[in-house]
Structure 1
Amino acid sequence: MSVFHNQIRQIFFLILVTALAILLFQQLYVFFPGFLGALTLYILGRHWYKFLTLRKSWNKSLTALLFMTAFMICIVTPIYFSAQLLFSKIQKFIQDPAQINHALEAVSAQIKDWTGKDILSKSTISDLQKKATGLIPMVLNSSATLLGNLIMILFLSFFMFVNGVEIEKIIPRYIPLRKENIDLLSHETTMMVKANALGIPLVSIIQGACAVIGYWIFGVKDFVLLGFVTGLFSFFPIVGTAVIWLPVVIFLFSSGENGQAIGLAIYSLVITGNVDYLARITFLKKIGDVHPVTTILGLIVGLKLFGFWGFIFGPLLISYFMLLIKIYISEFGQAKHS
């Protein structure tokens, strides 16, 4: 058989494989975050899993189940109770919208007093309430998807742990790179996943705790709930925690509590808004030194592509892009000059 006919067969086969891969990805995309979550869990736990099963001779399946239980206790349980706290408060606002209307009108009056513009008019506030009510079915639907992905995480990560040694031996055979570049890719993946899976939530917890203290010091009601929401918004780039504490400061001004408002504004700007930078230059460097620009751009891309898991794999995509350029130069640049 001629070389030309062999190349035609190869191209046809690659097109067939690529088309099938695209079809499968389109149908299973809704569960793709579950796969990413399982991969994250495996990368975070593989060292201890190998230590327990290979060195201590623990049963592989039982040890994997132990890791699944620890994941449920450490991750899922706090998220569940936090969601319950948040939704119970939202339900109260829906049943009695007068208190939220009063707060929005007070903030609107204060902004109008400062700027001369009625940014939050009564019609705007009414539209916001309708949109917020319309989000409830969307949230319920996303909750069902989140539950499905949670089951997928537990299912896939179990098999990743049990068959991890064999999988790690097979994967390098299908990567068309030199061994040193495969090792570099593996190291970068591990470092970035650890840095984002541990570092970003840790920063969120620290900022949320600082916000709780600030709200409590300056006499803000529901300071625990507001601190929790402030911590959640620290995930989002650029705007971050200011989305929560700035309206609280304006509301305090509108209520005539100027001293508390000024104090909270200074506290939020100096401490809550900057504690993440202090965390990054101290203990987060030990987990993985991720540049802030990589984190910001990665979050913008990742949250849109992968949803919740985007805060881990978004920055990883940006790092992969830079790493693949480096590997390309290493693989083909040297060969061109040789």
Structure 2
Amino acid sequence: MLSVVIPTYNEEAMVPRTAAVIADVLDAASIPFEMVFVDDGSRDGSWDRIQDASAASSRVRGVRFSRNFGKESAILAGLSSARGDCCVVIDCDLQHPPAKIVEMYRLWQDGYEIVEGQKASRGSEGALHSLAARIFYAVISKATGFDMAHASDFKLLDRKAVTVLVNMRERCAFFRALSSWVGFKTAAIEFDVADREAGESKWSTLSLVKYAVNNITSFSTAPMQLVTVLGVIMLVISVVFGFISLAQKIAGQALEGFTTVILLQLFSSSIVMISLGIIGYYIAKIYEEVKSRPRYIIAEACGTDADGQPDQEALR
């Protein structure tokens, strides 16, 4: 059986449409499936729509977070609740084309354990957003050693890969990178990002920046290496200006260059503060990890278990 995991946040207009489209696609391909909607603390009627879809079909289940925990947590919660032999993660806004699920499933039947959905185009993004995305993926690709220029959360995972991901103990998980890091036999398919049918993007510029910083620092120590690089740069600058100061002293011009000294002090102070900020951010990440709080809290669930009884397993 295939489990389709659908993270959902303020998508009341899309939940019925998404459930219907995915069901039609998989029924036409004769693929046994279930859908697991994960309501990430939505403030609209998303949970009511998920409950309606679950009441209309025994193949639809849902879990609702007690508050918004973020998309990464929603994905992991869906994978934890999924009962299928393989799982597909897909966005609720249908910008990931459901028809590609069939192609992913056939590749899984051929023996592939992870099937990556790679973006052939990014849809109707703004120029600034597109530039920021390219910079982020260039940085994360360099940091992780994987080419993530066209990566997405749209992918199929075999049960083995799902078990590995769910059992990872880190709190700040970056699903897009971790699903590549775990290895296994991998294939890739390309897709074009579709336009939204309803609603609007829930990602603001600030939230995207926070998402990028959080994921880079949670998966890589590259920013910590930046501190070392900045230190080396400051050492070189200090040596150069040290020789200049010594030459001026010998030449009897020691009073000249006072402005340069002030600028150098301001520059070095800025580097020190930036370095302390980077180190402090990593210390904060360590603090979050050692508290060992749960990744998410499930408030309620809907749907039935394998025996047709109310699904209580998701609440554990």
TM interval, shorter chain, is under 0.3
Q: Report which of the two has the higher share of strand.
A: 2
TM-score by length of 2: 0.25
TM-score by length of 1: 0.24
Q: Report which of the two has the higher share of helix.
A: 1
- More relative contact order in 1 or in 2 (CA 8 Å, sep 6+)? 2
